[in-house]
Amino acid sequence: MADLEQARATIAVPDRVDSPFGELRFFDGVPTQDSITTIYDMLDLTRAIEVYLNTVPGASLVAMRRGFRSIGVDGNTVLGYTAPRANSRSFALTPNTETTYGTMFLDLRDGPLVVENPPNSLCVLDDFWFRYVADLGIAGPDRGAGGKYVLLPPGHDGPEPDGYVVLRPPTFTNWLVVRALGGVDDITRTRVYPLEKAADPPAMTYIDIAVHHFNTVHANDASFYEEIDTLVQEEPPEALDPERAGQCEAIGIVHGRPFAPDERMRGILEQGARLAAAASRALVYAPRDPAAHRYPGSNWLDLFPSGSYEFLRDHARLLDARVQFHYVATVITPAMAHAQVGAGSAYVYTAQAADGAWLDGGRSYRLHLSAGIPAKNFWSVDVYDTQTRSLLETDDPYPSVMSLDERVAVNPDGSADVWFGPTAPAGHEANWVQTVPGKSWFTILRLYGPLEGWFDKTWQPGEIEPTP
Query: Model confidence over 50-67: pLDDT tens digits?
Result: 999 999 999 999 999 999
Q: Are strands 132-137 and 102-107 parallel, antiparallel or unpaired?
A: unpaired
Say whether the peptide bond before residue 84 is cis (omega within 30 degrees of 0): yes
Amino acid, single-letter form, for residue 269 = L
Q: From 187, 166, 191, 188, select the one nearest 112 (Cα to Cα).
A: 166
pLDDT digits (tens, 9 = 90+) for 279-336: 999 999 999 999 999 999 999 999 999 999 999 999 999 999 999 999 999 999 998 8
Average pLDDT of the residues in 352-369:
98
Sequence ranges of the domains in the chain: 31-72+220-285, 74-208, 339-466
Q: What pLDDT, on a 0 to 100 scale, did the predictor assign at position 440?
A: 98
Residue 118 pLDDT greater than 90, yes or no? yes
Cβ neighbors of 330 (< 8 A, separation 6 or more) are: 60, 64, 92, 93, 94, 130
* CA–CA distances in Å: residue 132 to residues 135, 367, 419: 8, 34, 36
Sheet holding 30-31, edge to edge: 16-17, 24-27, 30-31
Q: What gap in Å lies between CA 300 and CA 444, rounded to an integer?
A: 9
Q: Which residue has the higher pLDDT, 342 or 282?
A: 282
CB atoms within 10 A of CB 13: 12
* Beta bridge mates, 347: 446
Q: 29 — phi, psi (to 5°)?
A: 95, -5
Non-local CB neighbours of 408 within 8 Å, separated by 6+ positions: 401, 402, 416, 430, 431
- pLDDT computed for residue 9 by the predictor: 83
Q: What does the pLDDT read at residue 434?
A: 98
Predicted pLDDT of residue 290: 96
Rounded to 10 degrees, the C-alpha dihedral 412/416/417/423 comes to 90
C-beta separation of 82 from 209 below 8 A: yes
When pLDDT is cut at 50, 70 and 90, the band that residue 1 belongs to is: low
pLDDT tens across 32-54, in order?
Answer: 999 999 999 999 999 999 999 99
Please determine, for residue 412, whether its predicted confidence score (pLDDT) is greater than 80. Answer: yes
Name the amino acid, one letter, at 320: D
The answer on pLDDT for 2 being more than 80 is: no
pLDDT for the residue 181 = 78
Cα separation, 119 vs 51, whole angstroms: 40
Backbone angles phi, psi at 139, to 5 degrees: -90, 0
Band of the pLDDT at 371, cuts 50, 70, 90? very high
Query: Could you report how far apart the first and last alpha carbons of the chain are, in Å?
Result: 73
CA–CA gap between residue 374 and residue 414 (Å, rounded): 11
H-helix segments, 292-356: 319-326, 334-337
Question: What sign for the dihedral angle of Cα 360, 362, 364, 370?
Answer: positive
CATH homologous superfamily of domain 31-72+220-285? Answer: VPA0735-like domain (1.10.3360.10)
Give residue 447's identity as a one-letter amino acid code.
L
pLDDT 10s digits, 132-172: 999 999 999 999 999 999 999 999 998 999 999 999 999 99
Strand partners, 385: 441
Across the range 8-21, mean pLDDT stands at: 92
Q: Does domain 339-466 have CATH number 2.60.120.600?
A: yes
The runs of H, that is alpha helices, within 239-381 are 242-250, 263-285, 319-326, 334-337
Q: Report the 3 state secondary structure along 104-127.
A: EEEECCCCCEEEEECCCEEEEEEE
Q: What percent of the chain has pLDDT over 90?
A: 94
pLDDT digits (tens, 9 = 90+) for 180-228: 878 899 999 999 999 999 999 999 999 999 999 999 999 999 999 999 9
Q: Are strands 173-180 and 191-194 parallel, antiparallel or unpaired?
A: unpaired
Which has the closest alpha carbon to 250: 236, 238, 232, 235? 232
Mean pLDDT of 368-386: 97
Model's pTM, two decimal places? Answer: 0.95
Alpha-carbon distance of 13 to 25, in angstroms, equals: 10
pLDDT(337) > 90:
no
CATH no. for 74-208: 2.60.40.1610
Phi-psi map region of 51: left, alpha, beta (phi>0 left; psi -120 to 50 alpha): alpha
Residues with Cβ within 8 Å of 339's Cβ and at least 6 positions away in sequence, in order, are 345, 346, 450, 454
